[in-house]
Amino acid sequence: MSLLIALIAVIFAGRLILKKYNPQAVLLLTGLALLFIAQIFNMSDISGLVKKTTGVSAFDTFEFIRDTLSVRLGGLGLQIMLIGGFAVYMSAIGASQVLVRLTSRPLQKLNSPYLLLGLALILGQFLSLFISSATGLGLLLMATLYPLLTRLGCSRAAVAAVIASTCAVEFGPGSGNSVLAAKTAGVEVVEYFVRDQLPVVVPVVLFIAVLHIVVQRFFDKRQREETAPQSDVTLNENEGPQAPIFYMCLPMLPLVLMLLCSSLAFSQLRITLDTAVLISVFISLFCEYLRHRNARDVMAGLQRVFDSMGSVFATVVTLIIAGEVFSAGLKATGAVDALLNMSSEFGLSAASIILLMTLITFSISALMGSGNAAFFSFAPMVPEISKHIGSDVAVMMLPIQLSAGIGRTLSPIAGVIIAIAGIAGVSPVEIVKRTALPMLGGWLLMLVLTFMRAGHLVNILPWLAGMIVLMLIGALALRKRQANPKIA
């Protein structure tokens, strides 16, 4: 009964979200409905979800939402809002542009176009540590690397596909998904970044870069595209504020402070992510005053941070809270416990359930162009499942978190894909065709590495083998279709 109710709720919410209904409203209202159903059928005691019961079970449901808002706004929500505000401020003062421009200069000395494509992917993923907006980073790279790569002989579609992939693997303390994953796992975000993300992300990014080199060369050779003049379709690199060279250090400040004030460097120093961002904001304000000597304009610039924080609250933090209500509803109906019991009866491991949640997150991200709704809904369930199989929560959280960003890069309606396609003058579908194999290959490698580190690789090998076979069949079908245009 509980699994049937949960399945209907997931399908209902998924259909509405895919039809462009507001995801916050869909998840929140569906979660509320599940909580009320759990009360009506006595599936669980809702009063256990709240800090202090109101005395009326129906009111306790809304008390739970109030408690969630209170906790998230003062902790995780504040951190994500500050990250968003800081990122917008860095772009407003020109610091992000300087960072991208200077770090991309060494690549201009290479004359091998496809090797340069792979290095551009690696550079973009490195810059995503400091520029959290996928669309913002993509546009900056279109203004700097795109002209160089097209001049060297790479097609417009090949360059656009690589640049669109630069934020596919979301990692680092600056990622909202990473912050949520670390909080849910009960670890510091720096520890999650260094201990859990880096051992998986580094080989995955390198593998994706190699796949991009092979895939883009293959597509260019088959399609024989002509390189268009870069002046017709690119942004002006000199547009926007021209900041001093040392401003390239400003976007890096939060990460540097977090690493220095942790057990990795000085064990006696401790600093939270939001404190690191606040320190970085005021250092940046001081630099802006030295640069312009205009206190009025510098203080007005601080308002950009506050305005952006409000925007992040409306779009991201509310989605996290709605996702938690939806997740609580699924738990209240007993769906998670029933799923674990059923998996035991049918011989399925709980690791297989994590893999299923990963696949769902990946698929929804590819369909919606955003993986936040799926990730925010499933993340709160991982601790209970990880406890059941005796695995580290952070390790099992990682594949779900990374799948959100990788899946988004396969969606022709993702904001970063549409923006880059428009500048390059190619179809978003053409970009997705070129990102498909690198993203799928990187996703599979990420799954293998994650479950191998968790000690559950054997449990999911049959599932992985089946997915690889299906992907190979799809790749062969696509190749046959390209070889024979008459096949519809």
pLDDT in tens, 467-477: 777 767 766 66
pLDDT of residue 235: 45
Domain count within the chain = 1
86 is a domain residue:
yes
- Residue 37 and residue 333 in contact, taking contact as beta carbons nearer than 8 Å: yes
Q: What is the span of the domain harbouring residue 296?
A: 78-313
Q: Which residues, in sequence order, are CB contacts of 7 under 8 Å at separation 6+?
A: none
Q: How many CA atoms lie within 13 A of 309 on its CB side?
A: 18
Domain contains 135: yes
Q: What is the DSSP string of 99-110?
A: HHHHHHGGGGG-
Domain contains 403: no
267 pLDDT higher than 70: no
44 in a structural domain: no
CA distance 14 to 10: 6
Residue 104 lies in a domain: yes
Q: Give the per-residue pLDDT at 343.
A: 59
Tokens representing 458 are: 């054997």
In a domain, 433, yes or no: no
Mean pLDDT is lowest, of 222-226, 260-264, 300-304, 425-429, for: 222-226
Provide the pLDDT confidence category of residue 283 given band limits of 50, 70 and 90: very high
Q: pLDDT per residue over 180-189, tens digit each?
A: 888 888 888 8
Instruction: Note whether 83 and 170 are within 8 A (CB).
Output: no
Residue 405 lies inside a defined structural domain of this protein: no
Looking at residue 243, what is its pLDDT? 80
Mean pLDDT of 453-480: 70
Overall residue count recorded for the chain in this entry? 488
pTM equals 0.70
442 falls within a domain: no
Q: What is the spatial distance between Cα 432 and Cα 437, in angstroms, rounded to a whole number?
A: 9
